[in-house]
A and B are shown apart, each in its own frame.
Chain A
């Protein structure tokens, strides 16, 4: 029961986060819909197309009439970068496109103290809010007249500061003199007052907490601007990160994937053929393959580290295992998928067993093997990054894991983007190879 209520409150926490994000998500969708409306307006002005598809009157429900709209794809990608730039105050975007940022500059507010005998006095606090990267001194201010004296403070943007404004006053907390108002509005402990540059709150003990407005832009430590990520990438590309350049990190990851995949394919494909061609081999390997296939390669990482350490051997063993079962199963189904009439035809044309293998079974299984290879490369790429996250001396995964420990969000983002681009390129490359080498795929 306790578990259920725990899970319930976790679920509530998740849902409430989603509710908080909802306005932004809705805003994004509305933006896309507006773009769609604009585009359909523009399209009406262009010369109408007269290809077969555009003449169809029934498109809703016709799968073949639904293709990816290039304009929508361009809008989609551009919008991601625009939103990224807008919420990080990127210099690549004109200022009016920025989301409201954190306050920087000068501000001030007045506070009022009340002495035990009912006397009141005002003083001004000058606040200078500066970017965190620029050291700034609090401005000199003259104390002024009266019991309460003027103060000043410098605060880095996105930070807040407690200020004992009564320290320099003639009568303070120790003399039972308390702050009762800020900018003329009454304030009590744990209350707050809005001022022109943010909020002034009062702690339970009566200290003022000055909180400059943060706006809705992201602080670079959480989300750096696109140009900052680009800059960091060029830095790492030339200077390196953790004793290796960017190319070395990515090269090591790719090397592991390629070697692991090739070893997996070299062992897995003959294994799959044997399983597809012989009862005994099928019986021998079926239990092993069927058991190992659902085990996620990531679950093998601890064992591989125990057995082989965190060096190249361990990584390659892991990727070998990740690719092995996929390739074996692909080759097996490639062999099983051969139409018996093709094999019969070849035998009737006088082919020997070896010739059947060479001219019928292998070419017939290539499409399946290529599909398997594409899946295996994808899995290997995911697995190598995960393995490097756990333990490695270099590699794309290690780079972002170490960077995250130092809160170097720019490196983490850069790593994620590069990992995505490489994964996508691998898939595109595999598709291209498939098109060139197996043009008969799906034509049998």
Chain B
């Protein structure tokens, strides 16, 4: 069985004061290979917890993750991660960062150099190969992070708000790059974001999560990612369906936030 199955995942942990938090409750998602899923939700809905469980950094209290028929029990090279920022190794050059995964596997130098060169071409950083990563701008750093992840040939790419810290223009360019990489490599991608627009653009499927306990609230199948592959993202945003869905989701999240606020005030 290929693809990624998230099966009735629950996560509950105890706090020092004796109470407990239900971060996730019965979350099930079935992802086919090559699907692009974006996960959206107000803060505290457990989307980062979900991603950390899929990555294998956290063990769920209930349920399981199965990737290509194998149960996930810890971090592994078949699930690559792209973080928001600061996850590059600043003691290594751009080239060494991108080649980190192959190096860990003990790949031969020539083969590794070929992979690194190819990916630096793909993300457009060939000229910055020998630079230190701290000399690059935020957008370039995220390109390095994407390339580093791809160099390891993972089956699934997990992105934890990878574009969250970028300015609006850079962000738009990077969204285009993510779509391009998705189409070219055919990877399964899970993208966590709190930008509704980004979730719509970069989600073939989109899951809206609700908080307390963290659970799936709505699920959409969207045409925009497919559209974005072939045309300008700004054109996609002009589509009336895009605006309609965006307003719908914004209203949904707005209601959730209101509810949280109300509950906190009553408590």
Hey, which bits of chain A sit against chain B, CB under 8 A?
339, 341-342, 344-352, 355, 359-360, 363-364, 366, 438-440, 443-444
Contacts and interface: CB of A to CB of B under 8 A. Distances in A.
Interface residues of B, number: 30
A339 B87 CA distance: 7
Contact of A350 (B77, B86, B91, B134): B77
Given A349-B148, A359-B89, 4 more contacts: A345-B148, A347-B75, A351-B100, A359-B100
B104 A439 contact: no
B10 interface: no
23 contacts: A341-B86, A341-B87, A342-B89, A344-B55, A344-B57, A344-B83, A345-B83, A348-B76, A348-B79, A348-B158, A349-B77, A349-B101, A349-B104, A349-B148, A349-B152, A351-B100, A351-B104, A359-B100, A360-B89, A363-B89, A363-B91, A443-B134, A444-B86
B132 interface: yes
A348 B100 contact: no
A43 to B, nearest CB: 36
A339 B86 CA distance: 8
Most chain B CB within a 10 A radius of its CB, from A350, A359, A440 = A350
Nearest to B81: A348
Contact of B90 (A348, A350, A351, A444): A444
Given A439-B132, A440-B134, A443-B134, A346 B100 contact: yes
Nearest to B82: A345
Contacts of B46: none
Nearest 5 pairs of A and B residues by beta carbon: A350-B77, A443-B134, A347-B75, A363-B91, A349-B101
A342 B90 CA distance: 10
A25 B146 CA distance: 63
Interface string B148-159: 110010100010
Contacts of A349: 77, 80, 100-101, 104, 148-149, 152
Contact of B104 (A352, A363, A444): A352
A350 B132 contact: no
B75 A348 contact: yes
A176 B105 CA distance: 112
Nearest to A350: B77
Contacts of A339: 86-87
B108 to A, nearest CB: 16
Given A440-B132, A440-B134, A350 B76 contact: yes
Contacts of B84: 341
Contacts of B80: 348-349
A342 B87 contact: yes
Contacts of A345: 81, 83, 87-88, 145, 148
Contact of A348 (B77, B88, B134): B77
A350 B90 CA distance: 19
A350 B83 CA distance: 16
Nearest to B85: A341
Interface in B135-174: 145, 148-149, 152, 154, 158
Contacts of B134: 440, 443-444
A336 to B, nearest CB: 16
Contact of B91 (A344, A352, A440): A440
Most chain A CB within a 10 A radius of its CB, from B75, B105, B145 = B75
Contacts of A344: 55, 57, 75, 81, 83, 87
A443 B84 CA distance: 16
A351 B102 CA distance: 10
B91 A348 contact: no
Contacts of B57: 344, 347
Contacts of A364: 91
A371 to B, nearest CB: 16
Contacts of A438: 91
Most chain B CB within a 10 A radius of its CB, from A341, A349, A350, A351 = A349
Most chain A CB within a 10 A radius of its CB, from B55, B89, B152 = B89
A352 B105 CA distance: 10
Interface string B104-132: 11000000000000000000000000001
A242 B74 CA distance: 67
A346 B104 CA distance: 9
Nearest to A439: B132
A438 B87 CA distance: 18
Contacts of A360: 89
A364 B148 CA distance: 19
Contacts of B104: 346, 349-352, 355, 359
